[in-house]
Structure 1
């Protein structure tokens, strides 16, 4: 995937070739920052306000001061698509760090945050959305503030790599056998017509698509229960699914080489997928075949 040429930095724009990364940057040296990934369909943001709201929740949680308001950040992000003449499906990666200063664990004083965002093309993964994906389970060894979308993703990276090396799409994380979420997505179990997922505590990221899944379930009359389930419960699941901005609503067809039910996407998952596509205004030609 090639990066579009215009990069947003702080409150202005520059060509990617002009962007210089200072070596004393707290995001690079400490992981002292946060980020967002925002989905684009047909050149339009999906859940933009939800992502901007979470961005500001995360910066507040780690005490990073932004010099822009939510409204100004929203306007800048809209300009970013316009200046790149973005009309396709894609994503924006947005990062905020505490800034550039001589290396010291203590916060630097009077240093502005570093902000940048860039646009990439990203087609929908319709094949996997249609067929579902295999997963593995991994012990959740992350910190206890996973609700902050921070740059400290090494445990997530290692879990995702382990899944890839085992021919799987995702790693389902658990703490002492209790499922939390996946390495880069939220996860759900369907049992007896009800959707179960970990409560929105500090131990999981409060996904923007997760909030939409809850909304869709309520509209469909499917109970959405924020209640933890265990790795052992997965064997008896009727359906499993995951969600994220890039995975959308993705069926899980196996966990640790064990099929979920008949190993095919379930009816509730398909209903949620349909609701997602309608909500995101995805064109008929680009829809999932149910």
Structure 2
């Protein structure tokens, strides 16, 4: 039994719906042995998936990037997601977690022949961000020491775990990472910089995981008349930003008000953040 988890909730595992407390996989599953798999997280508000098409596209992109052929079509993944939300979402705000590994095989590094992929899916309750919308986050700078395929939503997340632990040990909410002096991302979120009213984001490449909210915030910025540019961003530009923000499925969009022990801008949520926060809430309300 896992504490603080609803072990009676129903999960999907390899074609069956079982109690979470009864779900089991082999210790030789390559996700356990090698971290050989990918995952996706889909938020649902009042049981309705948010930006599901973008999540499905990233799921298929990640599977293709690691050469994992499940035999599933896009429609199969969509059916699984909608079915699990109908079973366990029940009109609530929830997060759907989906994980696919290369399956069970003898421990050997090359891709195994004939292994059946492991497909796991669960739904957990989700509480939307509250007062932190105004109080903001505190972050510190950290050198990005992760591997060079951060664009793949891989279950191999040790680098992200170590980054978040560095934040915990420093007594802050998160880290803002840099690779060769250029902004990459937080421990598990995209980072946004505002300078002179312009919204900036790192280039979409292998150094960051392109969050689904990356494309969404770009859309919302353009709709609100906020200039946007995707480009290399230096450490000095982050240090001198008028506003900093983090986005992820769980954080949605949040302001960073202290970075490396100093206030960001005025030390209060800025106008670009407020405009995007309002637009984000409106996008959810239209589901």
With the shorter chain as reference, the TM-score category is: over 0.9
Equivalent residue of 1:189, what SS? Answer: strand
Residue 203 (structure 2) pairs with residue 199 (structure 1): yes
TM-fit CA distance, 1:17: 3.0
Q: How far apart in 1 are the matches of 2:15 and 2:134?
A: 40
Within-5 A mapping of 1:187-266: 187-266=191-270
Instruction: Please tell me whether residue 17 in structure 1 is matched to residue 21 in structure 2.
Output: yes
Per-residue Cα deviation, 1:120-173 (whole angstroms, up to 9, x for no partner)? 111012111222110111100111111100011111111111112222111111
Match of 1:2? 5
CA contact (8 A) 1:2 1:121 kept: no
Partner of 1:126, secondary structure, is coil
The aligned residue for residue 174 of structure 1 is: 178
Q: Is the partner of 2:122 in helix, strand or coil?
A: strand
Considering only aligned residues, what root-mean-square deviation do their CA atoms show, in Å?
1.5
Report if the CA contact (8 A) 1:38-1:92 is conserved. yes
Distance 2:77 2:177 in 1: 33
**Residue 67 of structure 1: CA displacement?**
2.4
Pairing 1:279–2:283 present: yes
Distance (whole Å) between structure 2 residues aligned to residue 282 and residue 157 of structure 1: 34
Q: How does 1:104-183 map to 2 (within 5 A)?
A: 104-183=108-187
For 1:97, which of 77, 96, 101 is the aligned residue?
101
Please say if residues 195 and 241 of structure 2, whose CA atoms lie closer than 8 Å, have aligned partners that are also in contact.
Answer: yes
Superposed, 1:58-73 pairs within 5 Å as 58-73=62-77
Runs of 4+ residues deviating >4 angstroms: none
Deviation at 1:282, TM superposition (A): 7.7
TM-score (norm 1): 0.94
Q: Deviations over 1:164-186 (max 9, x none)?
A: 22221111110122111111000
Instruction: Give the conservation status (yes or no) of the 8 Å contact 2:167–2:173.
Output: yes
How many pairs does the alignment contain?
283
Whole-angstrom CA distance in 1 between matches of 2:283 and 2:64: 29
Task: Report the Cα offset of residue 228 of structure 1.
Answer: 1.6
Structure 1 pair 282–136 and aligned structure 2 pair: CA distance change class (3 A): farther
Q: Distance in 1 between matches of 2:277 and 2:14?
A: 36
Report Cα offsets for 1:190-209 as digits up to 9, x if no partner.
00110111010111111101
In 1: Cα distance, 2:88 partner to 2:19 partner: 10
Structure 2: give runs of 5+ residues left out of the alignment. Answer: none
Alpha-carbon contact 1:90-1:119 (below 8 Å) kept: yes
Say whether 1:46 aligns with 2:50: yes
Partners of 2:232 and 2:208 in 1: CA distance: 11
SS of equivalent to 2:120: strand
Provide structure 1 residue ranges, at least 5 long, that are not aligned to the other structure. Answer: 284-290
User: What's the CA shift string for 1:243-270, capped at 9, x where partnerless?
Assistant: 0101001101011111101111111011
What TM-score does the superposition give when structure 2 sets the normalisation length? Answer: 0.95
Cα 1:23/1:229, change in 2 over 3 Å: same
